[in-house]
Amino acid sequence: MVKHRFNVIESGPSPDDKTTTDGHQASATHNEDVTISNLSKDALEVAATLRTNTISKSVFDGFMRTADAALIVITGIVAYLSGAALDIPPLWQIFALFEASMIGIMLFQMADLYQANALQKVIAQVMRLITAWALVFAALITSLLLILPSAEIPQAFLLKWFVSGAAVLTIFRMVMRGFIVRWTRMGRLSRRAVLVGGGQAAADLIAELERQPNNDIEICGIFDDRSNDRSPPSVAGYQKLGNVSDLVEFARIAQIDMLLVTIPIRAEKRIIQLLEKLWVLPVDIRLSAHADKLRFRQRASSFVGTVPFVDVLEKPIADWDTIAKRAFDIFFASLSLIALSPVMLITALLIKLDSSGPVIFRQKRYGFNNELIDVFKFRSMYHDMTDANASKLVTKGDPRVTKVGRIIRKTSIDELPQLINVLMGQLSLVGPRPHALSAKAENRLYENVVDGYFARHKVKPGVTGWAQIKGWRGETDTEDKIQKRVECDIYYIENWSVFFDLYILIKTPFCLLETENAY
């Protein structure tokens, strides 16, 4: 086991957007100097071994298919340009490339060439690859015979393509095998699961999962509120790491993919109590139907092998959606930085001329899954009047705000450095706005005002968001305002799409014209 090291956590000085105070790094989280974990030593040691992300099976499969198709096309083009088939029409060449890549992917799938465990078997993998590749060319030659006389079939071209393609695809799989062996050893190709509820129900589920062929579920521990004989400290060799409240903290530290609830479906009241605590986590939550022997519609259920689970909650923005959103962020953030660089340079100069102190400062705020991140902003307050703990919100006419600061806060120009946070992967362009650790509404911390407040951290926070588009930009000094903002954030998370992000991004400049609540 890896020993866990306790770290002092520094909080940020600012609540949010235009309601915040400026300042540099603070040294408290909710007015405490050090955040001390309530987890047991065993739970901390297990969590320390699970800090790296797992690799989604659908993303891995998609990458392999895309790479195969690209390699087939590239080797075909190289064979064509080598002079082996320059006498055949380019249109037929394009047809051959398209057909070979499509048929290749289908035959490779049928030959189990995309299974991570099969990729580790070198001889079997190469034999299946060569066989499937030969069948691709058998299909390709058959197709060419339908459109070309047999004498005009470009044999030299096909031979070069077959040999080079077989060699390149084999080398590619050998390289990937090295990665797969390493990832398997690190547990990154498994789906990490925590069991919620112990006792005999957990033991039965573990036994059933372990009987499944090619099971990719890695059980990382058990959490249960019960402490009597019905929930012993160890079940089928897996340790009980704490109660359900501990699980929330554990999942903040460890990279967990799913929670498997072993409590019987008929225990409705207990399940509801559990979900009220757990739904804020960015993980799949599945209710085991194994013990109840029930059948469910396909939409309501999923299977691990033959073990049925009720899909209670799914992780938002997962698998390919994560890649699509990240690509969206990188493209538009880079474009925005280039386009807005003159504005940012002028702003930096004006801040420096207006008052002494640094141009850029960092604030500690909550990020994805409650992780602390440093958010960059242009300084808008006098350096010696900053409020490190955000104990006082910025109000209209606040004397702490500089002349330049009033302008850049009203226009949200002070937020532009957060485009760097986006490129660093800490923020997204669109998402719930990150709030400071000490943000309050009517002298109550946000998480004490809104039930399930931390559910907004199931995705990366954003530079702009749906709440800002709907008019909840700026001051959040009342409980109603923060309630409405969180409702918008949850709606965004539940209805996310790339087009939704694009709509919010396009609407943002127009919404910035409304400056009534921006001080």
Domain ranges of the chain: 57-186, 190-256+258-313, 320-511
Q: How confident is the model at residue 394, as a pLDDT? A: 67
Q: How confident is the model at residue 162, as a pLDDT? A: 92
Bridge partners (DSSP) of residue 441 are: 444
Eight-class DSSP state of 82: I
Q: How confident is the model at residue 121, as a pLDDT? A: 81
Q: How confident is the model at residue 32, as a pLDDT? A: 38
Burial 124-135 (b: 16+ CB within 10 A, else e): ebeebbeebbee
Q: How confident is the model at residue 3, as a pLDDT? A: 32
List CB contacts of 250: < 8 A, sequence separation 6 or more: 39, 43, 46, 47, 194, 221, 223, 241, 242, 256
Q: How confident is the model at residue 297, as a pLDDT? A: 40
Q: Which amino acid is at 185?
A: R
Are 454 and 489 contacting, i.e. CB atoms less than 8 angstroms apart?
no
Are 170 and 202 contacting, i.e. CB atoms less than 8 angstroms apart?
no
Kindly state which CATH superfamily the domain 190-256+258-313 is placed in: NAD(P)-binding Rossmann-like Domain (3.40.50.720)
Q: Which stretches in the chain have pLDDT values below 70?
A: 1-37, 83-90, 148, 152, 228-229, 265-266, 289-313, 386-395, 439-443, 474-477, 513-519
Eight-class DSSP state of 304: E
Q: Is 123 exposed, middle or buried (0-12, 13-18, 19+ CB in 10 A)?
A: exposed
What phi, psi does 178 have (nearest 5°)?
A: -60, -45
Model pTM greater than 0.85? Answer: no
Q: How confident is the model at residue 344, as a pLDDT? A: 93
Closest-CA residue to 489 (of 432, 426, 414, 417): 432
